[in-house]
Homo-oligomer: A and B are copies of this chain.
Amino acid sequence: MKKLINDPAKTVDEGVAGFAAAHSDLVRVVIDPPFVVVRADAPVAGKVGLVSGGGSGHEPLHAGFVGHGMLDAAVPGAMFTSPTPDPILEATKQVDAGAGVLHIVKNYTGDVLNFETAADLALAEGIEVQSVIVDDDVAVKDSLYTAGRRGVAGTMLVEKLAGAAAERGDSLDRVAEIARTVNSQVRSMGLALAPCTVPHAGEPSFELGEDEVEIGIGIHGEPGRARIALEPADRLVDRLIEPILEDLPFAKDDRVVLLVNGMGGTPMSELYIVFRRAAEVLAERGIDLARSLVGSYVTSLEMQGVSITLLKVDDDLLDLYDAPVHTAALRWGR
């Protein structure tokens, strides 16, 4: 394990401290209870507050998306571990301006349970809270007999569009509805060429041979659903995008946002090679590439790999996508 860290037990603390130092114009950071990253000007009068969070190790998600037009607060837990209810409750209180608070929760047992408790506690303090569970990962079969699909890179699109709706003044009900709509129209799938190593574990989350690829990985260094031999990028892209297209399904003339997301250790040059093929597949199917996003936004530490996300949009959702956003990791329009 070779990392730019000091003490494996302090990576989250020091990463949050560095984030706070770099973005003091955008956020303030609560360290007790640890940690809450709050939009500098929260609570914003009259606005629904948006809170998300989850285990650390997925940077820039979620703290990198705190700011105008996106989240009001992010709650980073320990490495790959959902935060406890205390900081979630604290975040909820700090961003509540009386218009209510939306919790955006990735669908993992730990996240769901801890946010659930925090929401109960907030309700008990008189804060109106709604929750939206994000579960965009098509690698996991959604059924009554599993924990359901995971929330992966699509989460950032839920945060972006719901954030824009909150910023324009939509009500809590409406913002929650938009978040649910986005979740229902976004699908993702990822793969890894190399695993990541959780600092305190000191060993890779799984082992991969020099010519193996893990397909259908999550964002917590979980192994995926299948291991195959390494193939050319275009073929691997097909293996990700086809299940995505079939799942919703995405059809001819649909308009989509295409997100090609690096898992943390993948260079931009490879993401663009992936993007090239993904866009080609969409063109072949007559699907309209309305917007493109390429970068490492929802990561698994230094994992080498990529995920592909498609979001089906209409005019209203596209307006929300295009709306100004000013956060550490996503910024346009201001």
A268 cross-chain contacts in B, Cβ below 8 A: 59-60, 64, 264, 296, 299, 329
A267 cross-chain contacts in B, Cβ below 8 A: 59, 264-265, 296, 299, 301-302
A276 cross-chain contacts in B, Cβ below 8 A: 14-15, 17-18, 21
Q: Bound state CA distance, A272 and B266, in angstroms?
A: 18
Partner of A232, one of B5, B233, B234: B5
CB distance from A292 to the nearest CB of B (A): 4
CB distance from A110 to the nearest CB of B (A): 19
Q: Bound state CA distance, A10 and B64, in angstroms?
A: 34
Judge whether A248 is part of the interface by a CB distance below 8 angstroms: no
Q: Are B59 and A7 in contact (CB under 8 A)?
A: no
Judge whether A253 is part of the interface by a CB distance below 8 angstroms: no
Within 8 A of B (CB), among A195-252: 210-211, 230, 232-234, 236
Please indicate which of the listed interface residues A23, A210, A234, A267 has the most CB atoms of chain B within 10 Å of its own CB. A267
Partner of A4, one of B270, B280, B299: B270
Q: Mark A323-334, 1 if CB is under 8 A from B, else 0.
A: 000101101111
Within 8 A of B (CB), among A260-279: 260, 264-277, 279
CB distance from A192 to the nearest CB of B (A): 10
A326 cross-chain contacts in B, Cβ below 8 A: 332
Within 8 A of B (CB), among A19-33: 19, 21-23
A270 cross-chain contacts in B, Cβ below 8 A: 3-5, 15, 302
Partner of A273, one of B18, B289, B296: B18
Q: Bound state CA distance, A276 and B23, in angstroms?
A: 11
CB distance from A236 to the nearest CB of B (A): 7
Q: Are A302 and B304 in contact (CB under 8 A)?
A: yes
> Please, could you name 30 A-B residue pairs with CB atoms under 8 Å apart, sorted by A?
A2-B194, A2-B230, A3-B193, A3-B270, A5-B270, A6-B232, A6-B273, A11-B273, A14-B273, A15-B276, A16-B272, A17-B276, A18-B271, A18-B274, A21-B279, A21-B292, A22-B260, A22-B272, A22-B275, A22-B292, A59-B267, A59-B268, A64-B268, A264-B268, A265-B267, A265-B302, A267-B296, A267-B299, A268-B299, A326-B332
| Residues of chain A having any CB pair with chain B under 8 Å | 2-7, 11, 14-19, 21-23, 56-57, 59-60, 64, 193-194, 210-211, 230, 232-234, 236, 260, 264-277, 279-280, 289, 292, 294, 296, 299, 301-302, 304, 306, 326, 328-329, 331-334
Given contacts A6-B234, A17-B276, A19-B272, 15 further A-B contacts (CB under 8 A): A4-B193, A4-B271, A6-B233, A11-B269, A14-B273, A15-B272, A18-B276, A21-B289, A22-B272, A22-B292, A59-B268, A265-B265, A266-B302, A270-B302, A326-B332
